[in-house]
Amino acid sequence: MRWGGLAALLVLLALPAVLSSYAVTIFILIFFYAYLGQAWNIVGGYAGQLSAGHAAFVGVGGYTAAMLSNELGLTPWVGMFAGAALAAVLGGVIGYLGFRFGLRGFYFVLLTVAFAEVGRIAASNIDALGGALGLYITFTGDPRQFQFQDNRAYYYIALALLLLATGVAWAIERRRFGAYLAAIREDEGAAEALGVDTLRYKLLAMLVSSFLTGLGGTFYAFYLFSLQPNAVFGIPMSVEIILRPIVGGAGTLLGPILGSFILTPLGELSRFYFGQSGLYGAHLIAYGLLLIGVVLFLPEGAYPRLARALARRRARP
Amino acid sequence: MAVGLTLIFGVMRVINFAHGDMMVWGMYIALLLSRRAGLDPYVGFVISAVALFALGLAVQRGLVQRIVDAPHEMQILLMLGVALVLENAALMAFGPEPERVRSPLAASTIWLGPVFVDVGRLVTFGVAVLLTLLLWLFLFRTDLGRAIRAAADNPYGALVIGTDVRRVYATAFGIGAACVGAAGALVSPLLPFQPATGLSLSITSFNIVIIGGMGSLLGAFIGGLLVSVAESLGAVFLAPSLKELVSFSLLILILLFRPAGLFGKRAP
């Protein structure tokens, strides 16, 4: 397992040397969405708190770093942490309100959606933030400003982000913290009865998750050089974030990554092919059908099934 | 439209994220009828309702029925999938441009006592009230309606006394969808729409239902009035683009302090 992971990492490190620029772009998107999925996974998968408003953290993180860079000339390498911290503050507020008032399931989903929507409307109405048109970042190609001529730089940054989030999730999973989160997910009442401070651990999970997601917002801003309120704060963004861990397997370490390797190329290719013939939205239909299929036939996601199938094959002599 | 959602949620505790998209389909059906057959949307809404009833029934039978006992999260995700399919099927079929159904009624206005009113709005409002009343009569005065409420109250108990709970669920889902279809067709002359409208409609109707109280018909009706009044006040006193902000803030407050809604009985 460990050797397999190392080999996969080496392959990924070497890949950009042989890939075309378009393929590199696809890999960047795979890593980036896997990263966001992994960040969501901490609170949505391990702790089982279905947040449908993670776009808010992407938006807050991205806008903060972009504003600091545009207005104060602060390098995004520092700004990204300011953005992530602010996203974590927002995550803390949402988490505290939601968990303190005992909102579960659907009510928590709605609360997170409502906050993300408030963020979207606020960002589209504040002129200093560029209003509905959004923020634009002038391209200078200066690495100190988180801007690169070469796509491959973004490839390695996205990969590093994904490794970071996966490392964090791994560390959580191995510690007592992870066990507490799993207990909360499986049966919150029982966990509480056994003395787990559920509020505290759910809140911690939310803080970590929103911090990481906010960090991703900076990458998004400086990879695309623009931020539109509808794109970063909107519900479709939240859906993109949720889909991958769900399809791959929520609450597993490799689920979001597997999910992203399935969904991102599928989405990009169908967007590309159907978009050419003027049929927009085909990739979202594919997403929708896949989601329905996963819920009906693979409710735990693809990774646990795959892992079991592999283990069975190994057990057979 | 919130009335339809209330019915679906109240009876089955299924969260229908595809609600707004179903409504948009109701609008497009009205549009097709008026373009191709020259049928006024104020007549065509019956056909929209029937079509959506069939769609709701199919979604319920084919998909929701299989996971009615699964955790809420799974249902949310399932309906999200349905919503994605419906919205983007509309996008592929009708394109992204905003549309509006023309109706001679919507263009005319009359003096009603001292106020000047759009006939279209008046008819829409009248039919909406009538539908809510009919639904109320159906739920409280007919056997099937009583069965629906029984299944909502206590599915197991209803099963014991011989109710076909599965059939009741399917009917409730179908009727809920039919209400949405009718509502969609009825507002289609008043409100320009496009496939992406569905999502915001879903959110608005959740808003209304949560504020009014899950599973309460009266609550849905009053919640609807409350949300639209709050939004119009917000538009007047703040800025037109900020009106949604008002209803979302209202939603957050209600969620925190009175999650069962203003007229709901149970705490979540």
Position B264 scores a pLDDT of: 56
Position B117 scores a pLDDT of: 62
Shortest distance, CA A296 to any CA of chain B (angstroms):
7
Task: Report chain A's mean pLDDT, rounded to a whole number.
Answer: 82
pLDDT for A54 beyond 60: yes
The answer to whether A235 contacts B210, with C-beta atoms less than 8 Å apart, is: no
Residues of A in contact with B242 (CB under 8 A): 121, 125
pLDDT for A39 beyond 50: yes
- pLDDT band for position B200 (50/70/90)? confident
Domain that holds residue B178: 2-196
Residues of A in contact with B251 (CB under 8 A): 110, 114
Whether residue A261 lies inside any domain: the answer is no
CA dihedral B119, B125, B126, B131 (to 10 degrees): 150
Nearest CA in chain B to A96: B256
- pLDDT band for position B179 (50/70/90)? confident
Choose among A281, A291, A276: nearest CA to B195.
Answer: A281
Residue type, B183: A
Position A276 scores a pLDDT of: 66
Residues in CB range of A252: below 8 A, 6 or more apart: A45, A301, A303, A304, A307
Structurally, chain B folds into a number of domains equal to 1
Q: What is the ipTM of this complex?
A: 0.73
Q: Using a pLDDT cut of 70, give the percent of chain A over it.
A: 96
Whether residue B266 lies inside any domain: the answer is no
pLDDT for A209 beyond 60: yes
Position A232 scores a pLDDT of: 81
Span B99-112, pLDDT tens digits: 777 666 655 666 66
Position B201 scores a pLDDT of: 74
- pLDDT band for position B268 (50/70/90)? very low
Nearest CA in chain A to B198: A235
Position A123 scores a pLDDT of: 82
Model-wide pTM > 0.90: no
The answer to whether A299 contacts B70, with C-beta atoms less than 8 Å apart, is: yes
Residue type, A246: I
Shortest distance, CA B195 to any CA of chain A (angstroms):
10
Position A19 scores a pLDDT of: 78
Answer for the pair B261, B212: CB distance below 8 angstroms, yes or no: yes
Whether residue A83 lies inside any domain: the answer is yes
Residues of B in contact with A111 (CB under 8 A): 252, 255-256
For residues A160 and B69, what is the distance between their CA atoms, to the nearest angstrom?
41
Span B143-175, pLDDT tens digits: 777 777 777 666 677 777 766 777 777 787 788
pLDDT for B193 beyond 80: no
Whether residue A196 lies inside any domain: the answer is yes
- pLDDT band for position B13 (50/70/90)? very low
- pLDDT band for position B2 (50/70/90)? very low
Identify the residue with better confidence: B114 or A266. Answer: A266
pLDDT for B115 beyond 80: no
Position B120 scores a pLDDT of: 67
Position B111 scores a pLDDT of: 61
Whether residue B41 lies inside any domain: the answer is yes
Q: Using a pLDDT cut of 90, give the percent of chain A over it.
A: 0
Selecting from B81, B210, B252 the residue whose C-beta is nearest the C-beta of A288 gives B81
In this structure, the number of other CB atoms found within 10 A of the CB of residue B129 comes to: 11
Position B108 scores a pLDDT of: 61
The answer to whether A117 contacts B248, with C-beta atoms less than 8 Å apart, is: yes
DSSP alpha helices (H): ranges in A15-150?
A: 21-40, 55-72, 76-100, 105-125
pLDDT for B81 beyond 60: yes
DSSP letter (8 states) at residue B87 = H
Nearest CA in chain B to A120: B245
- pLDDT band for position B267 (50/70/90)? very low
DSSP letter (8 states) at residue A227 = E
Span A103-120, pLDDT tens digits: 777 778 888 888 888 888
Dihedral sign computed on CA atoms, order A236, A167, A25, A135 = positive
> In chain A, what is the greatest distance between 2 CA atoms, to the nearest angstrom?
67
Cα atoms found within 13 Å of the Cα of residue B52, Cβ hemisphere only = 35
Residues of B in contact with A291 (CB under 8 A): 77-78, 80-81, 84
Selecting from B78, B88, B244 the residue whose C-beta is nearest the C-beta of A284 gives B88
Domain that holds residue A92: 21-233
User: Which range, A156-160, A285-289, B76-80, is most confident?
Assistant: A156-160
Query: Residues of chain A whose C-beta is under 8 A from some C-beta in B?
Result: 48, 50, 52, 97, 101, 103-107, 109-111, 113-115, 117-118, 121-122, 124-125, 235, 239, 242, 246, 279-282, 284-285, 287-292, 294-296, 299
Six-digit token pair at A34?
Answer: 């896997």
Position B11 scores a pLDDT of: 45
Answer for the pair A162, A38: CB distance below 8 angstroms, yes or no: yes
pLDDT for A242 beyond 60: yes
For residues A122 and A88, what is the distance between their CA atoms, to the nearest angstrom?
18
Shortest distance, CA A39 to any CA of chain B (angstroms):
18
Which of A97, A266, A295 should be substituted to probe chain B, the one whose Cβ sees the most B Cβ atoms within 10 Å? Answer: A295
Span A133-176, pLDDT tens digits: 777 777 777 777 777 777 788 888 888 888 898 888 888 888 88
Whether residue B144 lies inside any domain: the answer is yes
Whether residue A10 lies inside any domain: the answer is no
Annotate B130-167 with b (16+ C-beta within 10 A) or e (fewer): ebbeebeeebeeeeebebbbbbbeebeebeeeebebee
Whether residue A104 lies inside any domain: the answer is yes
Whether residue B132 lies inside any domain: the answer is yes
A&B contacts, CB < 8 Å: 125
Whether residue B170 lies inside any domain: the answer is yes
Structurally, chain A folds into a number of domains equal to 1
Between A36-40, A245-249, B59-63, the lowest mean confidence (pLDDT) is in B59-63
Position A1 scores a pLDDT of: 58
Task: Report chain B's mean pLDDT, rounded to a whole number.
Answer: 72
Position B261 scores a pLDDT of: 62
Whether residue A250 lies inside any domain: the answer is no
pLDDT for B230 beyond 80: no
The answer to whether B78 contacts A50, with C-beta atoms less than 8 Å apart, is: no
Span B246-260, pLDDT tens digits: 777 877 887 777 666
The answer to whether A288 contacts B241, with C-beta atoms less than 8 Å apart, is: no
Residues of A in contact with B80 (CB under 8 A): 239, 288, 291
pLDDT for B214 beyond 70: no
pLDDT for B241 beyond 60: yes
